[in-house]
């Protein structure tokens, strides 16, 4: 009586048998687009599928069709709100296109990035999206580059977020411009001397933001001394420690501390406060990204607002919607948002 196999899901063949039609017809009734199938048969197939709890084997479909409907996303750290916001955008856009997204988190380790790409390549995803990879130049990580090139040669599309110097299509977050715009606004608000909390030197994002900010201050006649440029991890704790280091160097004249991302700014604020520095009375603070969950810290953080979700969405569009070839570089601009952490300075 009970003929179903001990394990394993029902197959299309079983559905066909139950419905009393051929495999081909069952396939067409459930997915086949180009050809019509007799409504009566279709109904029978659908009914059979329902009673059997049939679910098409995507892997088998993929091999038969020679292509999947999958997108692979590689991020540095999914628990970091910056990345998870971008991931959210990617997933939304993927959903709309009926794509499944597989995610890998490299834990900010370069070697794992290559390993993940290698592994994902086997999935034959429609696109591989790398966000937050850090290498300063392709040469410094040839393996990853080779892997990606091989993937593209086989017909895949790779999209990078924020790595415009690489030979792949990329969402180009204009860090330099954003930081410069923020600096401009702050200068207008009366700030004259700033310190910068930046990230590891080989991390492009951090470098660009720091440079853009410093350049703008210099252009306006307020160059930033190297003494007030301190390096830390690109994380909350990195900001905390960098702020400590900065204070050790003495921040007497510093009116403003610019951290290259909000998380670091948050860490820096925590340190400063613990050290008895009043914010923003004693020193102003600014960040970059406009992370949602940090929007309620006190004092409200001045920052450069980035459309994180949109970036994720664009990453998919860029890779999949065959725009007339050209657009291989999508620029994204951030807008400065001044909040309480950087009050107007009124000079006598």
Q: Which residues bind a second copy (CB under 8 A)?
A: 7-10, 53, 55-63, 66, 68, 70, 77-81, 84-85, 87-88, 91-92, 95, 100-105, 107, 118-124, 146, 150-151, 153-155, 236, 263, 266-267, 269-270, 273, 291-298, 309
332 binds DNA (CB under 7 A): no
Least Å distance, CB 95 to DNA, is 20
- In the block, tokens 């994902």 appear at 120
How buried is residue 110: exposed, middle or buried, by Cβ count under 10 Å (0-12/13-18/19+)? middle
Shorter beta-carbon distance to a second copy: residue 153 or 248: 153
d(CA 182, CA 192): 13
Binding partner selected for residue 36 from DNA, a second copy, none, CB under the kind-specific 5 to 8 Å limit:
DNA
CB-based contact 280:297 (threshold 8 Å): no
325, 296, 332, 334: which is closest to 311 by C-alpha?
Answer: 332
Residue 258 DSSP SS3: strand
Binding partner selected for residue 182 from a second copy, DNA, none, CB under the kind-specific 5 to 8 Å limit:
none
Please pick, from the candidates 17, 56, 143, 229, the single residue that binds DNA as defined by CB under 7 A.
56
Tell me how far CA of residue 128 lies from CA of 124, 199, 231, in angstroms.
Answer: 9, 26, 31
Least Å distance, CB 254 to a second copy, is 20
44 binds DNA (CB under 7 A): no
Among 50-58, 126-134, 252-260, 325-333, the segment contacting DNA (CB under 7 A):
50-58
Binders of DNA in range 246-265 (CB under 7 A): none
Tokens representing 323 are 């725009």
9 binds DNA (CB under 7 A): yes
Shorter beta-carbon distance to DNA: residue 65 or 188: 65
Among 58-66, 133-141, 209-217, 277-285, the segment contacting DNA (CB under 7 A):
58-66
Shorter beta-carbon distance to a second copy: residue 146 or 253: 146
Least Å distance, CB 58 to a second copy, is 4
* Helix ranges (DSSP H) in the chain: 12-19, 23-30, 39-52, 58-65, 81-96, 110-121, 142-153, 175-188, 204-219, 236-248, 262-274, 308-320
d(CA 282, CA 280): 6
Phi, psi of 302 (to 5 degrees): -70, 135
Shorter beta-carbon distance to DNA: residue 30 or 243: 30
| Total of chain residues touching DNA, rule CB under 7 A | 29
Binding partner selected for residue 84 from a second copy, DNA, none, CB under the kind-specific 5 to 8 Å limit:
a second copy
32 binds DNA (CB under 7 A): yes
297, 300, 292: which is closest to 341 by C-alpha?
Answer: 300
Give the DSSP letter string of 23-52.
HHHHHHHHT--SS---HHHHHHHHHHHHHH
Shorter beta-carbon distance to a second copy: residue 184 or 343: 343
What does the binding site for DNA look like in residue numbers (CB under 7 A)? 8-9, 11-13, 21-25, 27-28, 30-32, 35-38, 41, 54, 56-57, 60-61, 63-66
């Amino acid at each position: 009586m009970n003929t179903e196999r001990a394990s394993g899901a029902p197959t299309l063949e079983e559905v066909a048998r139950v419905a009393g039609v051929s495999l081909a017809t069952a396939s067409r009734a459930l997915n086949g687009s180009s050809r019509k199938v007799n409504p009566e048969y279709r109904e029978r197939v659908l009914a059979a599928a329902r009673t059997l709890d049939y679910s098409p084997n995507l892997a088998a479909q993929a091999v038969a069709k020679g292509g999947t409907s999958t997108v692979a996303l590689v991020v540095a750290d999914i628990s970091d709100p910056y990345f998870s916001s971008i991931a959210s955008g990617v997933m939304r856009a993927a959903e709309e296109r009926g794509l499944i997204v597989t995610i890998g988190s490299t834990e900010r380790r370069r070697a794992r990035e290559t390993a993940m790409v290698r592994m994902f390549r086997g999935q034959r995803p429609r696109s591989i999206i790398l966000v937050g990879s850090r290498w300063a130049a392709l040469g410094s990580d040839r393996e990853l580059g080779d892997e990606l090139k091989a993937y593209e040669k086989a017909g895949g599309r790779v999209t990078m977020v924020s790595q415009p110097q690489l030979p792949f299509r990329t969402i180009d977050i204009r860090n330099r411009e954003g930081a410069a715009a923020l600096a401009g606004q702050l200068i207008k608000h009366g700030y004259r001397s700033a310190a910068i909390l930046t990230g590891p030197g080989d991390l492009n994002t951090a470098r660009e933001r720091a440079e853009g900010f410093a350049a703008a201050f210099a252009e306006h006649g307020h160059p930033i001394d190297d003494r007030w440029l301190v390096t830390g991890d690109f994380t909350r704790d990195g900001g905390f420690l960098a702020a400590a280091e900065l204070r050790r160097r003495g921040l007497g004249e510093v009116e403003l501390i610019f951290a290259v991302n909000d998380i670091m700014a948050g860490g820096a604020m925590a340190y400063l406060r613990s050290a008895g520095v009043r914010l923003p009375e004693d020193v102003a603070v600014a960040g970059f990204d406009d992370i949602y969950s940090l929007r309620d810290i006190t004092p409200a953080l001045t920052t450069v607002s980035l459309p994180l979700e949109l970036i994720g969405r664009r990453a998919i569009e860029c890779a999949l919607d065959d725009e007339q070839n050209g657009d291989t570089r999508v620029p994204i601009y951030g807008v400065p948002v001044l909040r309480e952490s950087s009050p107007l300075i009124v000079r006598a």
